[in-house]
Amino acid sequence: NAGVMQNPRHLVRRRGQEARLRCSPMKGHSHVYWYRQLPEEGLKFMVYLQKENIIDESGMPKERFSAEFPKEGPSILRIQQVVRGDSAAYFCASSPVGVRQPQHFGDGTRLSIL
């Protein structure tokens, strides 16, 4: 499967725990994006990364959320001390270098907070 891979597909956490969501971009893609979708809403941009660099994190909550895309390995979206309101579907997308390249999405991680 050469698509964007996200894992886990489903993640259940209790309030106060940490959630780690992983994303491997498509082969040849060097740009990674994270989006969040609340029920019955569209996707909301969170963060845009390239290898070892955060390019735009204007959509990330200021506290508890962080993202990285290391030189080796997948991109990680980390949510510390989760709260009920963090329950959502988190989608990762990737694109190659170049102007106006479409972003291709993974199947998402559905995060449920008990």
Phi, psi of 85 (to 5 degrees): -70, -10
CB of 53 to other proteins, least distance (A): 12
Q: Which is nearer to other proteins, 83 or 97 (CB)?
A: 97
CB nearer other proteins, residue 66 or residue 83: 66
Tokens of 16: 């106060």
Q: Cis ω on the peptide bond leading into residue 8 (within 30° of 0)?
A: yes
Interface with other proteins (CB under 8 A)? 4, 6, 31, 33, 35, 40-45, 48, 50, 55-56, 58-59, 91, 93, 95, 97-108
Give the distance, in angstroms, between the CA of residue 61 and the centroid of all CA atoms in the same chain. 13
Of 14 and 28, which CB lies nearer to other proteins in the complex structure?
Answer: 28
For residue 47, which amino acid is it? V
